[in-house]
Structure 1
Amino acid sequence: MPLPDLHSTRERLRHGETSAADELGAAVAAAHSGSNTHVFLKTRFEASAAEAAQVAAAAPLAGLPVSIKDLFDFAGDVTTAGSLALVQAEPARIDAPSVARLRAAGGVVVGRTNMSEFAFSGVGVNPHYGTPPNPCDARTPRIPGGSSSGGAVSVATGASFIGLGSDTGGSIRIPAALCGIVGFKNTARLTPLEGAYPLSGTLDTVCAMTRSVRDAVLAHEIIAARKVVRVDTPLAGYRLAVATTQMLDGVDGTVARAFERTLRRLRDAGARIDEIPLWQIQDLGSIQSTGGFAAAESYAWHRQLLAREGSRYDPRVRLRIERGAAMKAYEYIELQRARSAWVREVGQALAGFDAVLSPTVPIVAPPIADLAPGGERDEAFFRVNALLLRNTSVVNMLDGCAISLPCHAADELPVGLMAWHGALHDDKILNLAIQIENLLTTTTTTT
């Protein structure tokens, strides 16, 4: 049985069927349960209870619990970004704007969530603080996806209604897909980056994970301080594309079945879906052949910290950051120019389409044990990391927006459907996603 989303909980609050205190108590119980092992790096349950008691019932978030990734400043806390290298840093003086907006809307922060160190991995493994197990499988501990790993698990298990995170190459959408929840990556410029440790200033996006698309709309409106223009266009009113270049390569059986089943249902509901090559995707390898934005820009930020605290970094993360040292200034400038030209070409190829549909990630969550540090498992880690980031990172390079929503059957491991487009198509993507979610939740799901 799916957990109630924020909207339905607010309705219950209005009808006196629950209270903010009751909901916070349930969230705290979930946070203390075995399903939230390694999820929170710091909790503030007593403070959040006092805050919830002061929130007006009419506030958008009504005193309900939210979690924040350990990437964001929270006044009085040290922001460690999931690393040991920053544990001695000065506490934040003020909240990051995104955190402040959630609190001003009536959200109570129950804690800071675990993450891939410095947000530099789509797997979600953290050797310093432990890896939160994916709640989708009670028998086999599986990866949660990263880098917003703890936030995804907190939402999926009932410890929070909104998990504030970041997305540089898929760090919201990957854990959302693997944990069976919703993750919306907005156009990067719409949300403030201040008060969050950077990975790549070019690609970083502040965004959130939720239990439903309508909750994603609300979370985005709060974090971006803007209203989504809502329309009720039926699925028959959308023209959709499926990109066949790379996006469907190496898809495992569970993902393939869920994706094809979803496309069939969308077509049966009247949606027009065309397969297109979108061959420009294959050019990303050559465009980034001298290194990508994340390596170069993270090295520029970490260079001095590495000199002082390099031994305290996750070796896998350090390796990826230090690759940025090799990029020359002219190569970085050429990368910027090549990206701009590529964005224009993809925009032209997508003209006339309302969105592109793809599997969010091509595989279901693998076991944590298969990717633990050491020996051949390091090779497996980097292989899986690249696979998890492959589809989602296309949208970041496009400076676009995307949403991942669950499309798996009840007896399957979670699978995410990604709907995406270029910059500032956010409202259309969200409106489409509401229609897709309504279809998938009202249609009997069979394997």
Structure 2
Amino acid sequence: MTSPSARSRLDKALAAIGDPYGEGARACLTVYRDEAIAAADAADARARQGISLGALDGAIVTIKDLFDVAGEVTRAGSKVLAEEGKIAHADAPVVRRLRAAGAVIVGKTNMTEFAFSGVGANPHYGTPANPADRSRVPGGSTSGGAVAVADGMCEITIGSDTGGSTRIPAALCGIVGYKPSKQRISTEGAFPLSQTHDSIGPMAMTVADCARADAVIAGEAAWTLEPAPLAGLRIGVAQGMPLDALDDTVGKRFPQALDALEKAGARLTHETLPLLDAMNAVHRRGGIVPAEGYAVHRERIARAKDGIDPMIATRIERAAKISSADYIAMREERAALVAAMDARLADIDVLALPATAIAAPTIAEMLDPETFGKKNAMLLRNTSIGNFFDLCAVSLPIPGSGLPCGLMLMTRNGHDRRLFRIAAAVERLFS
């Protein structure tokens, strides 16, 4: 049987985006209909001639609203940035690599304003509703991308991840989300939040699709993804804070996932991690991400605060109190902790923990600032560990009834291909 053409798959994606009863208007802020049709037809013409540009040739892809596209304003989910009207003069390197690989870019996806929350709410362009329960948030900040994948508007989406922005929405929407080792993928042309923590990664329905997209946007050669053996795999289960206050959904399904891994022959160990306490000590001084986010937006906050989501503006403003001396000290402390965590993980293959402590909250809940703050912190708590310690990490859907939740696997910086192989094996076990 021949596989469906790029054009036929694009037509289905465009139909999903255009469905008046669906989430297309909230998930996709820009739709490149004509350009995508031309790209899909070109991919099919190459296929008929036996020519391929690589693993993503003809793949239907969306990109987060913070990536530069030549000739367009980069909004980053913000009406204020849209009104500023700064035109991108070139595609971001990630976008150029996608085009060169033959990917069919069908749209730009909605996001938390400035990528500064894990909830995924956006009062300016609408909050894309969670595919598992339309009364709930999708997670963020790559909210529209996760909904686009889960609802069939694309096959792969490219997002950013500063504290969990690919893995949180993946966990809440029941798909796969990947955060690479930061240095592998250029953040040039991606509207910044934190120069220290920003990274760029894919989300998709499968680990294999994430792996092939990851190789393309990293500028690496294609490779064959073979699942790693689970028997004998050393999995460290993070104890303490990552397991605190899990809700009923995550608290039930995470142990079930661990039980399945152990039955498959993996060697599970309970890992206490005092380094997490040291990380929290840095956060109590204000944190690196808020300080860097404030540096990006302080003039904008002073000039146009009323046009910014108040949940986001409040978080940015808090960082005004962080001194330059504290910021420098936090950077230095983090560098030492990154090295210490790398050494700590040397004797295990992956660290396992729930991607998020809670399943998706309701959209209505997020209208209350106090509830928003608490739920946002619970969504970001575990995923942000990977960014702080400069690890690579993946969220995989844990099977079971009810709302989606994710198993997060993390390992040392630079071990991305090994992590993909382990993730593929776990995905196969869960299927």
> TM-score interval w.r.t. the shorter chain?
over 0.9
Deviation, 1:229, is 7.6
Select which of 405, 413, 420 maps to 1:423.
413
Report whether the alignment pairs 1:351 with 2:338: no
Q: Give the aligned partner of residue 3 of structure 1.
A: none
Deviation, 1:61, is 2.0
What's the C-alpha RMSD, in Å, of the aligned pairs? 1.4
Q: Give the aligned partner of residue 2 of structure 2.
A: 16
Deviation, 1:17, is 4.2
Q: Give the aligned partner of residue 271 of structure 1.
A: 266
Letter in 1 for 2:81: L
Letter in 2 for 1:41: L
In the alignment, the residues of structure 1 paired with residue 228 and residue 196 of structure 2 have an alpha-carbon distance, to the nearest angstrom, of 33
Q: Give the aligned partner of residue 176 of structure 1.
A: 170
Select which of 90, 93, 96 maps to 1:97.
93
In the alignment, the residues of structure 1 paired with residue 415 and residue 5 of structure 2 have an alpha-carbon distance, to the nearest angstrom, of 36
Q: Give the aligned partner of residue 119 of structure 1.
A: 115
Select which of 400, 410, 413 maps to 2:391.
400
Deviation, 1:48, is 0.8
Q: Residues 162, 17 of structure 1: CA spacing in aligned structure 2 closer, same or farther, 3 A cutoff?
A: closer
In the alignment, the residues of structure 1 paired with residue 345 and residue 35 of structure 2 have an alpha-carbon distance, to the nearest angstrom, of 48
Give runs of aligned pairs for residues 40-119 of structure 1, distance below 5 A: 40-55=28-43, 56-57=46-47, 58-59=52-53, 60-88=55-83, 89-119=85-115
Report whether the alignment pairs 1:322 with 2:317: yes
In the alignment, the residues of structure 1 paired with residue 258 and residue 127 of structure 2 have an alpha-carbon distance, to the nearest angstrom, of 34
Letter in 1 for 2:88: A
Q: Residues 17, 207 of structure 1: CA spacing in aligned structure 2 closer, same or farther, 3 A cutoff?
A: closer
Q: Give the aligned partner of residue 437 of structure 1.
A: 427
- Give TM-score scaled by structure 2 length: 0.94
Q: Deviations over 1:293-335 (max 9, x none)?
A: 1111111111222233222111111111122221111111110
In the alignment, the residues of structure 2 paired with residue 348 and residue 368 of structure 1 have an alpha-carbon distance, to the nearest angstrom, of 41
Select which of 209, 216, 232 maps to 2:210.
216
Which stretch of the first structure deviates more once superposed, 355-364 or 318-327? 318-327
Select which of 131, 136, 157 maps to 1:135.
131
In the alignment, the residues of structure 2 paired with residue 348 and residue 254 of structure 1 have an alpha-carbon distance, to the nearest angstrom, of 33
Letter in 2 for 1:27: A
In the alignment, the residues of structure 2 paired with residue 90 and residue 169 of structure 1 have an alpha-carbon distance, to the nearest angstrom, of 26
In the alignment, the residues of structure 1 paired with residue 229 and residue 392 of structure 2 have an alpha-carbon distance, to the nearest angstrom, of 21
Q: Deviations over 1:117-165 (max 9, x none)?
A: 000000000011110000112xx51100000000000011110111111
Structure 1: 5+ residue runs without aligned partners? 1-14, 442-447
- Give TM-score scaled by structure 1 length: 0.91
Deviation, 1:398, is 0.4
Q: Give the aligned partner of residue 236 of structure 1.
A: 231
Q: Give the aligned partner of residue 5 of structure 1.
A: none
Structure 2: 5+ residue runs without aligned partners? none
Deviation, 1:337, is 1.4
Give runs of aligned pairs for residues 144-293 of structure 1, distance below 5 A: 144-227=138-221, 230=225, 232-293=227-288
Deviation, 1:292, is 1.0
Q: Give the aligned partner of residue 391 of structure 1.
A: 382
Q: Deviations over 1:184-234 (max 9, x none)?
A: 100110000100110000000011111100111101000101245855531
Report whether the alignment pairs 1:25 with 2:8: no
Letter in 2 for 1:368: I
Following superposition, which runs of at least 4 residues in structure 1 exceed 6 angstroms of deviation? none
In the alignment, the residues of structure 1 paired with residue 41 and residue 366 of structure 2 have an alpha-carbon distance, to the nearest angstrom, of 43
Name the % identity: 45
In the alignment, the residues of structure 2 paired with residue 231 and residue 330 of structure 1 have an alpha-carbon distance, to the nearest angstrom, of 47
Q: Give the aligned partner of residue 6 of structure 1.
A: none
